[in-house]
Amino acid sequence: MNHERSRAIFSEAQRLMPGGVNSPARAFGGVGGEPIVIERGAGARLWDVDGNRYIDYVGSWGPLIFGHAHPRVVEAVVAAARRGTSFGAPTPGENELARLIIEAVPSIEKVRLVSSGTEATMSAIRLARGYTGREAIVKFAGNYHGHVDSLLVAAGSSAATLGTPDSPGVTTGASRDTLVLQYNDVSGLQEAFQAHGQRIAGVIFEPIVGNMGVVIPTPEFLTALRHLTQQHGALLICDEVMTGFRVTYGGAQQRLGIQPDLTTLGKIVGGGLPVGAYGGRADIMDRILPAGKVFQAGTLSGNPLATAAGCAMLTLLRDEPPYERLEQLSARLERGLKEAATAAGVAHQVARAGSMVTLFFSTEPVHDWPSASRCDTQRFGRWFWQMLERGNYLPCSQFEAMFVSAAHTETDIDDTVATAREAFASL
Protein backbone atom coordinates (compact mmCIF):
# COMPACT_ATOMS: atom_id res chain seq x y z
CA MET A 1 0.00 0.00 0.00
CA ASN A 2 1.06 3.55 -0.69
CA HIS A 3 1.09 5.86 2.36
CA GLU A 4 2.74 8.92 0.83
CA ARG A 5 0.04 11.46 1.73
CA SER A 6 -0.31 10.03 5.25
CA ARG A 7 3.43 10.48 5.77
CA ALA A 8 3.31 14.09 4.52
CA ILE A 9 0.33 15.01 6.71
CA PHE A 10 1.83 13.34 9.76
CA SER A 11 5.15 15.11 9.15
CA GLU A 12 3.30 18.44 9.24
CA ALA A 13 1.33 17.32 12.31
CA GLN A 14 4.57 16.72 14.20
CA ARG A 15 5.45 20.38 13.72
CA LEU A 16 2.01 21.47 14.98
CA MET A 17 1.14 19.04 17.79
CA PRO A 18 3.19 17.11 20.40
CA GLY A 19 4.15 13.85 18.73
CA GLY A 20 1.89 14.75 15.82
CA VAL A 21 -1.27 13.52 17.56
CA ASN A 22 -3.97 14.68 19.97
CA SER A 23 -3.99 11.37 21.84
CA PRO A 24 -1.02 9.01 22.23
CA ALA A 25 -3.25 6.01 21.43
CA ARG A 26 -3.13 7.15 17.79
CA ALA A 27 0.65 7.41 17.53
CA PHE A 28 1.46 3.76 16.68
CA GLY A 29 3.99 3.77 19.50
CA GLY A 30 3.12 0.18 20.40
CA VAL A 31 3.80 -1.13 16.89
CA GLY A 32 6.45 1.20 15.48
CA GLY A 33 6.27 3.30 12.34
CA GLU A 34 3.94 6.19 11.62
CA PRO A 35 0.14 6.30 11.82
CA ILE A 36 -2.00 6.42 8.72
CA VAL A 37 -4.28 9.43 8.33
CA ILE A 38 -7.98 8.69 7.90
CA GLU A 39 -10.16 10.59 5.44
CA ARG A 40 -13.58 8.96 5.89
CA GLY A 41 -15.50 5.96 7.14
CA ALA A 42 -18.70 4.17 6.17
CA GLY A 43 -20.13 1.08 7.84
CA ALA A 44 -17.27 -1.27 8.69
CA ARG A 45 -14.84 0.43 6.29
CA LEU A 46 -12.23 3.17 6.55
CA TRP A 47 -10.41 5.01 3.78
CA ASP A 48 -7.12 6.80 4.36
CA VAL A 49 -5.96 9.93 2.59
CA ASP A 50 -4.08 7.80 0.05
CA GLY A 51 -7.26 6.00 -0.96
CA ASN A 52 -6.44 2.71 0.78
CA ARG A 53 -9.47 0.85 2.14
CA TYR A 54 -9.56 -1.11 5.40
CA ILE A 55 -11.90 -3.35 7.35
CA ASP A 56 -12.08 -1.43 10.63
CA TYR A 57 -11.85 -3.19 14.01
CA VAL A 58 -11.17 -0.03 16.03
CA GLY A 59 -14.46 1.79 15.57
CA SER A 60 -13.10 4.98 17.13
CA TRP A 61 -11.97 2.79 20.05
CA GLY A 62 -15.43 1.40 20.70
CA PRO A 63 -18.23 3.94 20.22
CA LEU A 64 -19.30 2.95 16.70
CA ILE A 65 -21.22 -0.22 17.46
CA PHE A 66 -23.30 0.24 14.26
CA GLY A 67 -20.30 1.25 12.19
CA HIS A 68 -19.29 4.62 10.74
CA ALA A 69 -21.76 7.30 9.69
CA HIS A 70 -24.96 5.45 10.51
CA PRO A 71 -27.75 7.43 8.79
CA ARG A 72 -29.93 7.74 11.91
CA VAL A 73 -27.07 9.18 13.96
CA VAL A 74 -25.93 11.51 11.18
CA GLU A 75 -29.47 12.79 10.62
CA ALA A 76 -29.93 13.42 14.35
CA VAL A 77 -26.72 15.47 14.55
CA VAL A 78 -27.54 17.50 11.43
CA ALA A 79 -31.03 18.30 12.73
CA ALA A 80 -29.62 19.35 16.09
CA ALA A 81 -26.95 21.55 14.47
CA ARG A 82 -29.63 23.43 12.55
CA ARG A 83 -31.29 24.34 15.87
CA GLY A 84 -28.01 25.59 17.36
CA THR A 85 -24.79 23.96 18.49
CA SER A 86 -24.63 25.03 22.13
CA PHE A 87 -26.68 27.06 24.58
CA GLY A 88 -25.18 26.55 28.04
CA ALA A 89 -28.76 26.04 29.20
CA PRO A 90 -31.07 23.03 29.73
CA THR A 91 -32.40 21.31 26.61
CA PRO A 92 -34.93 18.48 26.09
CA GLY A 93 -32.18 16.24 24.67
CA GLU A 94 -30.48 16.06 28.07
CA ASN A 95 -33.63 14.62 29.63
CA GLU A 96 -34.05 12.14 26.81
CA LEU A 97 -30.49 10.81 27.00
CA ALA A 98 -30.59 10.65 30.80
CA ARG A 99 -33.88 8.74 30.65
CA LEU A 100 -32.47 6.23 28.14
CA ILE A 101 -29.43 5.60 30.33
CA ILE A 102 -31.47 5.16 33.52
CA GLU A 103 -33.93 2.80 31.83
CA ALA A 104 -31.08 0.67 30.45
CA VAL A 105 -28.81 0.40 33.51
CA PRO A 106 -30.64 -0.85 36.63
CA SER A 107 -28.03 0.44 39.10
CA ILE A 108 -28.40 4.04 37.84
CA GLU A 109 -31.19 6.06 39.47
CA LYS A 110 -29.82 9.49 38.56
CA VAL A 111 -27.16 10.51 36.06
CA ARG A 112 -24.97 13.54 35.31
CA LEU A 113 -23.82 14.14 31.72
CA VAL A 114 -20.26 15.31 31.06
CA SER A 115 -18.04 15.52 27.96
CA SER A 116 -15.63 12.57 28.24
CA GLY A 117 -14.97 9.30 29.99
CA THR A 118 -12.04 10.86 31.82
CA GLU A 119 -14.30 13.59 33.16
CA ALA A 120 -16.82 10.96 34.25
CA THR A 121 -14.29 8.93 36.25
CA MET A 122 -12.68 12.02 37.76
CA SER A 123 -16.09 13.24 38.91
CA ALA A 124 -17.19 9.85 40.23
CA ILE A 125 -14.06 9.60 42.35
CA ARG A 126 -14.59 13.09 43.77
CA LEU A 127 -18.19 12.16 44.53
CA ALA A 128 -17.13 8.93 46.28
CA ARG A 129 -14.75 10.91 48.48
CA GLY A 130 -17.33 13.59 49.16
CA TYR A 131 -20.05 11.08 50.00
CA THR A 132 -17.96 8.91 52.33
CA GLY A 133 -15.74 11.61 53.82
CA ARG A 134 -12.73 9.39 53.09
CA GLU A 135 -9.67 9.89 50.91
CA ALA A 136 -8.26 6.59 49.60
CA ILE A 137 -9.24 5.05 46.25
CA VAL A 138 -8.44 1.51 45.11
CA LYS A 139 -7.69 0.84 41.44
CA PHE A 140 -6.18 -2.12 39.59
CA ALA A 141 -2.99 -2.33 37.55
CA GLY A 142 -3.82 -2.51 33.86
CA ASN A 143 -7.20 -0.80 34.27
CA TYR A 144 -7.29 2.62 32.61
CA HIS A 145 -9.75 5.27 33.78
CA GLY A 146 -8.59 8.28 31.83
CA HIS A 147 -5.77 10.75 32.49
CA VAL A 148 -6.91 11.64 36.01
CA ASP A 149 -3.94 12.64 38.19
CA SER A 150 -4.84 10.38 41.10
CA LEU A 151 -5.24 7.37 38.78
CA LEU A 152 -2.00 7.74 36.82
CA VAL A 153 -0.28 5.70 39.48
CA ALA A 154 2.18 2.80 39.45
CA ALA A 155 1.65 -0.20 41.69
CA GLY A 156 3.37 -0.43 45.04
CA SER A 157 5.27 -3.49 46.20
CA SER A 158 2.37 -4.94 48.20
CA ALA A 159 -1.31 -4.53 48.86
CA ALA A 160 -0.56 -2.25 51.78
CA THR A 161 1.69 0.09 49.77
CA LEU A 162 0.17 3.23 48.31
CA GLY A 163 0.94 4.14 44.72
CA THR A 164 3.58 6.48 43.30
CA PRO A 165 3.15 8.86 40.34
CA ASP A 166 3.34 7.20 36.93
CA SER A 167 3.66 10.37 34.83
CA PRO A 168 5.69 13.58 35.10
CA GLY A 169 3.42 16.33 36.32
CA VAL A 170 1.52 14.07 38.72
CA THR A 171 2.47 15.02 42.24
CA THR A 172 3.07 12.67 45.12
CA GLY A 173 0.19 14.39 46.88
CA ALA A 174 -2.18 13.52 44.03
CA SER A 175 -1.25 9.84 44.14
CA ARG A 176 -0.70 9.23 47.84
CA ASP A 177 -4.33 8.25 48.40
CA THR A 178 -4.44 5.74 45.54
CA LEU A 179 -3.92 2.05 46.26
CA VAL A 180 -3.01 -0.10 43.24
CA LEU A 181 -3.79 -3.82 43.35
CA GLN A 182 -3.69 -6.69 40.85
CA TYR A 183 -6.86 -7.49 38.93
CA ASN A 184 -8.52 -10.80 39.86
CA ASP A 185 -6.44 -10.98 43.08
CA VAL A 186 -8.96 -11.67 45.84
CA SER A 187 -6.41 -12.08 48.63
CA GLY A 188 -4.71 -8.79 47.72
CA LEU A 189 -8.07 -7.03 47.84
CA GLN A 190 -8.82 -8.54 51.25
CA GLU A 191 -5.42 -7.45 52.59
CA ALA A 192 -5.94 -3.91 51.30
CA PHE A 193 -9.26 -3.56 53.09
CA GLN A 194 -7.83 -5.10 56.23
CA ALA A 195 -5.05 -2.52 56.25
CA HIS A 196 -6.90 0.54 54.91
CA GLY A 197 -10.63 -0.23 55.17
CA GLN A 198 -11.48 2.84 57.23
CA ARG A 199 -9.74 5.13 54.70
CA ILE A 200 -11.09 3.68 51.45
CA ALA A 201 -13.76 5.84 49.83
CA GLY A 202 -14.23 3.62 46.80
CA VAL A 203 -12.94 0.96 44.45
CA ILE A 204 -12.93 1.73 40.71
CA PHE A 205 -12.55 -1.10 38.22
CA GLU A 206 -13.28 -2.20 34.67
CA PRO A 207 -15.89 -4.99 34.91
CA ILE A 208 -14.45 -6.44 31.71
CA VAL A 209 -11.01 -5.03 31.06
CA GLY A 210 -10.27 -3.57 27.66
CA ASN A 211 -7.18 -1.54 28.44
CA MET A 212 -4.66 -4.35 28.87
CA GLY A 213 -6.46 -6.31 26.21
CA VAL A 214 -9.67 -8.12 27.04
CA VAL A 215 -9.46 -9.67 30.52
CA ILE A 216 -12.44 -11.35 32.16
CA PRO A 217 -13.02 -11.09 35.93
CA THR A 218 -13.46 -14.25 37.94
CA PRO A 219 -16.76 -14.71 39.82
CA GLU A 220 -14.79 -14.83 43.08
CA PHE A 221 -13.20 -11.46 42.32
CA LEU A 222 -16.55 -9.82 41.57
CA THR A 223 -18.08 -11.25 44.74
CA ALA A 224 -15.17 -10.00 46.82
CA LEU A 225 -15.41 -6.51 45.32
CA ARG A 226 -19.06 -6.16 46.23
CA HIS A 227 -18.81 -7.82 49.65
CA LEU A 228 -15.74 -5.93 50.85
CA THR A 229 -16.93 -2.49 49.73
CA GLN A 230 -20.29 -3.00 51.44
CA GLN A 231 -18.68 -4.41 54.57
CA HIS A 232 -16.33 -1.44 54.92
CA GLY A 233 -18.70 1.33 53.80
CA ALA A 234 -16.84 2.08 50.55
CA LEU A 235 -18.44 2.70 47.15
CA LEU A 236 -18.02 0.33 44.21
CA ILE A 237 -17.44 2.30 40.99
CA CYS A 238 -17.95 0.35 37.78
CA ASP A 239 -16.06 1.94 34.88
CA GLU A 240 -18.18 1.07 31.85
CA VAL A 241 -16.81 3.75 29.53
CA MET A 242 -15.80 0.94 27.18
CA THR A 243 -18.24 -1.86 28.05
CA GLY A 244 -21.40 0.21 28.59
CA PHE A 245 -23.95 -0.67 25.87
CA ARG A 246 -21.18 -2.66 24.15
CA VAL A 247 -21.29 -6.16 25.66
CA THR A 248 -25.05 -5.93 26.11
CA TYR A 249 -27.59 -3.11 26.37
CA GLY A 250 -27.33 -2.86 30.17
CA GLY A 251 -23.53 -3.09 30.05
CA ALA A 252 -21.09 -5.51 31.67
CA GLN A 253 -22.80 -5.12 35.03
CA GLN A 254 -25.99 -6.60 33.57
CA ARG A 255 -24.08 -9.34 31.77
CA LEU A 256 -22.13 -10.29 34.91
CA GLY A 257 -24.80 -9.60 37.52
CA ILE A 258 -23.01 -6.73 39.29
CA GLN A 259 -24.76 -4.02 41.32
CA PRO A 260 -22.30 -1.11 41.71
CA ASP A 261 -22.94 2.09 43.62
CA LEU A 262 -21.68 4.33 40.80
CA THR A 263 -21.13 3.74 37.08
CA THR A 264 -19.10 5.75 34.59
CA LEU A 265 -20.03 5.76 30.91
CA GLY A 266 -18.69 7.16 27.65
CA LYS A 267 -18.02 6.16 24.03
CA ILE A 268 -21.29 4.54 22.86
CA VAL A 269 -23.50 6.89 24.93
CA GLY A 270 -22.25 9.71 22.69
CA GLY A 271 -22.85 7.92 19.41
CA GLY A 272 -19.35 8.91 18.29
CA LEU A 273 -19.47 12.46 19.67
CA PRO A 274 -17.81 13.59 22.94
CA VAL A 275 -20.09 12.49 25.79
CA GLY A 276 -19.45 10.95 29.19
CA ALA A 277 -21.76 10.25 32.08
CA TYR A 278 -21.69 9.06 35.65
CA GLY A 279 -24.63 7.87 37.65
CA GLY A 280 -25.80 5.63 40.44
CA ARG A 281 -27.91 5.60 43.58
CA ALA A 282 -30.03 8.71 44.01
CA ASP A 283 -28.82 9.37 47.56
CA ILE A 284 -25.23 9.45 46.31
CA MET A 285 -25.89 11.49 43.17
CA ASP A 286 -27.84 14.07 45.17
CA ARG A 287 -24.56 15.08 46.84
CA ILE A 288 -23.52 16.80 43.57
CA LEU A 289 -23.90 20.58 43.20
CA PRO A 290 -26.49 22.14 43.06
CA ALA A 291 -28.44 19.43 44.91
CA GLY A 292 -25.49 18.89 47.25
CA LYS A 293 -22.04 20.33 47.89
CA VAL A 294 -19.69 18.17 45.72
CA PHE A 295 -18.58 20.48 42.91
CA GLN A 296 -18.68 19.50 39.25
CA ALA A 297 -19.58 21.66 36.26
CA GLY A 298 -19.04 21.88 32.51
CA THR A 299 -20.02 24.45 29.88
CA LEU A 300 -20.48 21.82 27.17
CA SER A 301 -21.96 19.09 29.37
CA GLY A 302 -25.17 17.88 27.72
CA ASN A 303 -24.21 19.58 24.44
CA PRO A 304 -27.16 19.42 22.00
CA LEU A 305 -25.19 17.77 19.18
CA ALA A 306 -23.71 15.14 21.47
CA THR A 307 -26.99 14.34 23.19
CA ALA A 308 -28.71 14.04 19.81
CA ALA A 309 -26.13 11.52 18.64
CA GLY A 310 -26.31 9.64 21.93
CA CYS A 311 -30.11 9.48 21.89
CA ALA A 312 -30.11 8.21 18.31
CA MET A 313 -27.54 5.54 19.17
CA LEU A 314 -29.20 4.27 22.34
CA THR A 315 -32.64 4.27 20.71
CA LEU A 316 -31.25 2.16 17.87
CA LEU A 317 -29.69 -0.25 20.34
CA ARG A 318 -32.95 -0.52 22.28
CA ASP A 319 -35.27 -0.89 19.29
CA GLU A 320 -32.99 -2.89 16.97
CA PRO A 321 -30.64 -4.75 19.34
CA PRO A 322 -27.60 -6.08 17.46
CA TYR A 323 -26.20 -8.18 20.30
CA GLU A 324 -27.10 -11.63 19.00
CA ARG A 325 -25.55 -10.83 15.64
CA LEU A 326 -22.49 -9.27 17.28
CA GLU A 327 -22.05 -12.41 19.37
CA GLN A 328 -22.13 -14.61 16.26
CA LEU A 329 -19.73 -12.43 14.27
CA SER A 330 -17.32 -12.05 17.18
CA ALA A 331 -17.34 -15.79 17.94
CA ARG A 332 -16.58 -16.40 14.26
CA LEU A 333 -13.60 -14.01 14.47
CA GLU A 334 -12.39 -15.57 17.73
CA ARG A 335 -12.59 -19.08 16.31
CA GLY A 336 -10.90 -18.07 13.06
CA LEU A 337 -7.98 -16.32 14.76
CA LYS A 338 -7.41 -19.30 17.04
CA GLU A 339 -7.38 -21.73 14.13
CA ALA A 340 -5.11 -19.52 12.02
CA ALA A 341 -2.58 -18.98 14.82
CA THR A 342 -2.57 -22.66 15.75
CA ALA A 343 -2.02 -23.72 12.15
CA ALA A 344 0.98 -21.38 11.94
CA GLY A 345 2.42 -22.61 15.24
CA VAL A 346 2.14 -19.14 16.82
CA ALA A 347 1.82 -19.09 20.62
CA HIS A 348 -1.37 -17.20 21.39
CA GLN A 349 -4.40 -16.63 23.59
CA VAL A 350 -7.67 -15.18 22.32
CA ALA A 351 -9.92 -13.47 24.86
CA ARG A 352 -13.43 -12.31 24.01
CA ALA A 353 -16.35 -10.67 25.80
CA GLY A 354 -19.23 -10.07 23.43
CA SER A 355 -17.94 -7.96 20.54
CA MET A 356 -14.62 -7.13 22.26
CA VAL A 357 -11.73 -9.39 21.17
CA THR A 358 -7.99 -9.49 21.88
CA LEU A 359 -5.38 -11.75 20.34
CA PHE A 360 -2.54 -12.03 22.86
CA PHE A 361 0.86 -13.20 21.62
CA SER A 362 1.37 -15.20 24.80
CA THR A 363 2.00 -18.77 25.92
CA GLU A 364 -0.12 -18.32 29.06
CA PRO A 365 -3.67 -17.15 29.80
CA VAL A 366 -3.92 -13.44 30.56
CA HIS A 367 -5.78 -12.65 33.78
CA ASP A 368 -3.97 -9.58 35.18
CA TRP A 369 -1.33 -7.00 34.27
CA PRO A 370 1.74 -9.15 35.07
CA SER A 371 0.53 -11.90 32.72
CA ALA A 372 -0.44 -9.34 30.05
CA SER A 373 2.96 -7.65 30.28
CA ARG A 374 4.70 -10.90 29.35
CA CYS A 375 3.13 -10.91 25.86
CA ASP A 376 5.46 -10.74 22.85
CA THR A 377 4.75 -7.14 21.87
CA GLN A 378 7.40 -7.07 19.13
CA ARG A 379 5.80 -10.02 17.39
CA PHE A 380 2.41 -8.37 17.75
CA GLY A 381 3.83 -5.23 16.09
CA ARG A 382 5.06 -7.21 13.09
CA TRP A 383 1.71 -8.97 12.79
CA PHE A 384 -0.13 -5.64 13.06
CA TRP A 385 1.72 -4.21 10.07
CA GLN A 386 1.20 -7.37 8.03
CA MET A 387 -2.55 -7.05 8.73
CA LEU A 388 -2.62 -3.33 7.96
CA GLU A 389 -0.86 -3.74 4.63
CA ARG A 390 -3.45 -6.38 3.76
CA GLY A 391 -6.35 -4.03 4.49
CA ASN A 392 -7.26 -4.61 8.14
CA TYR A 393 -7.23 -1.69 10.58
CA LEU A 394 -6.59 -3.11 14.05
CA PRO A 395 -5.79 -1.46 17.42
CA CYS A 396 -2.17 -0.35 17.30
CA SER A 397 -1.29 -1.97 20.63
CA GLN A 398 -1.17 -5.46 22.05
CA PHE A 399 -3.02 -4.11 25.06
CA GLU A 400 -6.23 -2.97 23.39
CA ALA A 401 -9.45 -4.65 22.28
CA MET A 402 -10.67 -5.17 18.74
CA PHE A 403 -14.29 -4.04 18.30
CA VAL A 404 -16.71 -5.83 16.00
CA SER A 405 -19.63 -3.72 14.75
CA ALA A 406 -23.07 -4.60 13.46
CA ALA A 407 -21.89 -3.27 10.09
CA HIS A 408 -19.40 -6.12 9.72
CA THR A 409 -20.45 -9.13 7.65
CA GLU A 410 -19.52 -12.80 7.73
CA THR A 411 -17.48 -12.13 4.58
CA ASP A 412 -15.56 -9.37 6.36
CA ILE A 413 -14.73 -11.73 9.21
CA ASP A 414 -13.70 -14.53 6.87
CA ASP A 415 -11.52 -12.16 4.83
CA THR A 416 -9.82 -10.95 8.02
CA VAL A 417 -9.19 -14.52 9.16
CA ALA A 418 -7.72 -15.42 5.77
CA THR A 419 -5.49 -12.36 6.00
CA ALA A 420 -4.47 -13.31 9.54
CA ARG A 421 -3.47 -16.76 8.28
CA GLU A 422 -1.13 -15.11 5.75
CA ALA A 423 0.19 -12.68 8.35
CA PHE A 424 0.92 -15.46 10.85
CA ALA A 425 2.77 -17.41 8.19
CA SER A 426 4.92 -14.36 7.39
CA LEU A 427 6.12 -14.21 11.02
Q: What amino acid positions are annotated as catalytic residues?
A: 144, 239, 267
Helix axes 92-104, 304-319, angle to 10 degrees: 40
The string of DSSP codes covering 242-273 is TTTTTSSTTHHHHHHT---SEEEE-GGGGTTS
Residues 6 or more apart from 325 whose CB is under 8 A from it? 406
Measure the CA–CA gap between 162 and 262, rounded to whole angstroms: 23
How far does CA 342 lie from the centroid of its chain?
Answer: 29
Q: Cβ–Cβ contacts within 10 Å for residue 8, how many?
A: 13
**For 402, phi and psi rounded to 5 degrees?**
-85, 145
Measure the CA–CA gap between 393 and 36, rounded to whole angstroms: 10
Q: Which helix (H) or strand (E) holds 341?
A: helix 323-344
Measure the CA–CA gap between 407 and 412, rounded to whole angstroms: 10
Integer angstrom CA distances of residue 259 from 108, 217, 228, 251, 253? 9, 15, 13, 11, 7
Q: Is 65 helix (H, G, I), strand (E, B) or coil?
A: coil
Measure the CA–CA gap between 351 and 324, rounded to whole angstroms: 18
Measure the CA–CA gap between 209 and 241, rounded to whole angstroms: 11
Task: Decide: 271 and 309 in contact? Cβ < 8 Å.
Answer: yes
How far does CA 138 lie from the centroid of its chain?
Answer: 19
Q: Is 126 helix (H, G, I), strand (E, B) or coil?
A: helix
Measure the CA–CA gap between 269 and 308, rounded to whole angstroms: 10
- Encode 259-276: b = buried (16+ Cβ within 10 Å), e = exposed: ebbbbbbbbbbbbbbbbb
